[in-house]
Structure 1
């Protein structure tokens, strides 16, 4: 069994579920900043060794010491493979460039910064490319992202692997309260960071059209980012809209999805979607824009509905269709939950990840699946 160090700075949910399944195949150590320790506590398999280190805010020069500590941890572990979840942290990128690293696998969740996303640090769009070229293997979640890496960054195709983003519903069910929320038959959910590329304005424009056909429709808007009040200059009907314009505590996330019948992703740009992965695992239906990697994640008319981005009428019609047809809801929910046991299942994703370690990193050990 090979020794793997799994390093992450963000994408905690993804890392938790991958690690819990990956520990069946490899000798696993999880390396993480102390600030994410609470997020990962109580949900990790006890067989996973966890090492945390102090990581200051991104603009703090003490990151130099932090990166030295991180490298000392990696050197002490002496892993056969270092697997890193993508980071927008230039401190890590420069450390990667200037140090000798173990055989490196990097999971790239987003190749480019999303339009309107001002959180990323200046220069990180350029420094993150260091990981593209220093990694022996890259993992992405859609064939569209693989194509970009091959065509725009000239990465050899044999170094780029497409693995699905696993479902996240079971994680939030384990984290959530014991009070199961009743599904509200006409409630929609817009969840996550509220930024221009998420297309909230198109959903709000569609709401009056939906209400004409389904007067009971309600929209929950949950997440921080833009100030949602800008979309409601004259106020809003509190019976029609429930707005939580703030960070959503982990223990309350699952309840929002349990209450909602449909999650709406009216994005105008997308690489992949953890929100869709969470919706599938919670049995919440998905209506999304046919843009970027969403068209690979959501199987149109099988486990979700896709509409052209920015098309308010098409978005309204798809939501009306789904809310009006209980048989269609049941069919799509069953199909989505079935995928959670197939290509979105973490055991399958972990096995594929282990195959990358063994086969493509030229490591000769055989996988022990017992």
Structure 2
């Protein structure tokens, strides 16, 4: 097929699986990943894709030296024309690529900066992540904001930065799930994903009483892990108004949550891009989001979602009320979300654009 590509995955399993499934139609592809990613691939990774695995201990474990030696051995064994890495801010990986020669390197950057208050931020990544930016000959990002930050904050030239959309994830979860076609609940909202301060859950909770004045039937599903959820409900909560899933959520439950909900709400106060929006659109569920960071590029106001000022409780409540009040608008946005999943968020289109990045690098290698 021409270009031989090693796709190296350090943890963005869903994104990697869907990208790989389409890339295999364009290039000679080999997937290299941590052993712990194996379960995510079961039944959904294209059988044509060879998979090589290595053990990756926790960051503080000195056995990482052996792990990185094995990773580099696998890369050398594959002899790829291009090594494409899904963002890795692990200090061991970064030191490895700093001190070793690698094949021409493409890195997909999902987040240029750490999110404020994110308790899962990789240790010291604020200081080490620029290694990844400067060691890569080509970078792929998901929004123009990412490109601007890399250009202005890290002096990465425009010609090394490629803006490609984050593909939809709904079809992946539907393939994993045996549940199908649940009816949408007309007054159900969904807050999904990791729960950290920058996600703005407190503003959505403050908006709920305002929405309930207009729609007493309104219900909010909060599904995800992160902070202690009890701090948001110091006096408990009304189980008729709130459904809380503060634990691991199975693939089947993920599908049913999005199928049940009228809208996914992302009241973030900071954002770069959003895998939750990509999942929501793939399920045909519109999004109400804060007009902040990369979200204002992803959500198309009045087309497949609504944008509101971050931290503005009244504006958030008004947007929810507007959408719940208008069934025609809901249907229009549902169709628009599904349409985007077949166009700019379609993985085949994204894979074709990714191959153009590979071809650019192979034709015009950049010495770093």
Query: What TM-score bracket applies, with the shorter chain setting the length?
Result: over 0.9
Q: CA deviation at 1:359?
A: 2.3
Match of 1:49 in 2: 50
**Counterparts of 2:53 and 2:266, CA distance in 1:** 34
Corresponding residue of 1:265: 266
Q: Is the 8 A contact 1:357 1:363 kept in 2?
A: no
| Distance in 2, Cα, partners of 1:173 & 1:31 | 25
TM-score (norm 2): 0.97
CA deviations on 1:12-68 (whole Å, 9 max, x unpaired) are: 111110000000000000000001110111101111111111111121110110000
Residue 363 of structure 1 and its aligned partner are, at CA, apart by 7.0
Aligned to 1:244: 245
Superposition RMSD in Å: 1.1
Please tell me whether the aligned partners of residues 296 and 307 of structure 2 are also in contact (alpha carbons under 8 angstroms): yes
- Give the 5 Å matches for 1:37-186: 37-186=38-187
Asked if the contact 1:163/1:349 (under 8 Å) is kept, the reply is yes
Query: Which residue in 2 is equivalent to 1:367?
Result: none
Is there any run of 5+ residues in structure 1 with no aligned partner, and where?
365-370
What secondary structure is seen at the aligned counterpart in 2 of 1:361? helix
The farther-off stretch of 125-134 and 93-102 is: 125-134
Partners of 2:251 and 2:106 in 1: CA distance: 29
SS at match of 1:183: coil
Deviations 1:261-293 (A, max 9, x none): 110000000000000000001011110000000
Per the alignment, in what secondary structure is the counterpart of residue 359 of structure 2? Answer: helix
Question: After alignment, is 184-193 or 116-125 more displaced?
Answer: 116-125
Q: How far off its partner does 1:341 sit?
A: 0.9
> SS of the counterpart of 2:363?
coil
Distance in 1 (CA, whole Å) between partners of 2:244 and 2:27 is: 44
Distance in 1, matches of 2:208 and 2:115, equals 25
- Alpha-carbon offset, residue 126 of structure 1: 1.5
- Residue 358 of structure 2: aligned partner: 357
State the match for 1:279 in structure 2: 280
Range that drifts further, 324-333 or 174-183: 174-183
What is the aligned partner in structure 2 of residue 328 from structure 1?
329
8 A Cα contact 2:179 2:255, kept in partner: no
Aligned residue runs from structure 1 range 148-227, under 5 A: 148-227=149-228
1:143-198 Cα offsets, whole Å, 9 max, x none, are: 01100000110001000000000000000111112343221111000000000000
In 2, the alpha carbon distance for the partners of 1:121 and 1:303 equals: 33
Alignment correspondent of 2:342: 341
Assess if the C-alpha contact under 8 Å between 1:199 and 1:268 holds in 2.
yes
- Report deviation, 1:360: 3.6
1:230 matches 2:263: no
SS of equivalent to 2:46: coil
Work out the CA distance in 1 between the residues paired with 2:200 and 2:179. 33
Aligned to 1:26: 27
